[in-house]
Amino acid sequence: MFSGIEPILVLTVAASTPILYAALGEIIAERSGVLNLGVEGSMLAGGLVGFVVTVLTGSPTLGFIAGVLAGGALALVHGFLAISLHADQVISGVMITLLGAGLTTYFGHGWVQENISGFSSEPVPIVGQYLVQIPLIGEALFRNTAPDFLALLLVPATWYFLTRTNIGLEIDAVGNDPATADTAGIKVARTRYLCVLLGGLFAGAGGATITLAFSQLWTSEIVAGRGWIAIALVIFAQWDPIKALFGAWFFGVIQAAQFYTQGTDVANSLPLSAELGSVYAVVFDPIIMSTYPYVATILVIVAVRYRQETAEQLGMPAALLKPYLRGSE
């Protein structure tokens, strides 16, 4: 009964994990008032460094850690430009993406033919062998790679960190009114640096997940715009980690459907296939389907704009994109 749905759900979780990592990190960064459009670059850095370290050491765990650190290192460049030098955050972020793309293309061309044994799918420890028997969702939720499980755990952890801890409250204060936060003794620059670093570490984890768990290979185009999707997802999720999970699954199911239909004759298995065969052929064409995640991203942004909600209604930090210079306000 669920033979066609279960594989898509399994692919959905795997495909959504890199986007989820990047979106969670960008939520943390933006809630401190710093927009980082360099997410794509940090994901590329994390993907390449994680892959190379795995090839050299044979350990995907070490590769994953190295990829996380690489993403954080590139994000710190953006932090220095945007926080210390008060550079335009949009320009700085785009530059980081271009820098990440250029560096990984140059240094990664010799690793394209390499093969690795990355993370394998395993059931949840102790009780996983029973949970995977649950119809429809068992395999999707309870048999995954270590990065997939970690990403799911980070959703409630990030929510708790941002909403129930003193540091989280300080981040919100800095992101909404840095001058008042500074007066209250909160270190604005230090807080923003921490958040940008965390955002980069999360993005690096997303990139490393792609090369070590999802694809288990390296090409210079492997991130394929997931960083930009994650940035749009932050708006869709209204800067809420819990909503980001469902948004990531939304984009994940689109990509999963694309992968699933590549090996399945979907057009001939649908109702009215004789009459609508040519239409189905276009709709389920692999090249056309590869554009669906990006079309969905555009539609999400248009929908948010069409609703004409104010920044406050959306939950956007009031000081987002605004550099803070003590004494200037």
Q: Does domain 5-314 have CATH number 1.10.3470?
A: yes
Is residue 203 within 8 A of residue 25, CB to CB? The reply is yes
- In angstroms and rounded to an integer, the radius of gyration of the C-alpha atoms of the chain is 21
Alpha-carbon gap, residue 306 to 293, rounded angstroms: 20
Q: In angstroms, how far is CA 9 from the centroid of its own chain?
A: 18
What are phi and psi for residue 125, nearest 5 degrees? -55, 145
Residues with Cβ within 8 Å of residue 294, at least 6 apart in sequence = 225, 229
pLDDT reported for residue 1: 40
pLDDT reported for residue 300: 75
Domain boundaries along the sequence of the chain: 5-314
pLDDT reported for residue 260: 74
Rounded to two decimals, what is the model's pTM? 0.91
pLDDT reported for residue 2: 47
Q: In angstroms, how far is CA 187 from the centroid of its own chain?
A: 28
Residues with Cβ within 8 Å of residue 322, at least 6 apart in sequence = 33, 178
pLDDT reported for residue 263: 62
Cα–Cα distances in angstroms (integers) from residue 72 to residues 4, 65, 69, 168, 187, in the given order: 39, 11, 5, 19, 20
**Could you list the mean pLDDT of each consecutive 10-residue stretch along the chain, which spans 329 residues?**
71 94 97 96 97 96 98 97 95 96 95 90 84 85 93 97 96 95 94 97 98 94 93 91 94 84 62 60 75 81 67 78 74
Alpha-carbon gap, residue 60 to 208, rounded angstroms: 9
pLDDT reported for residue 269: 59
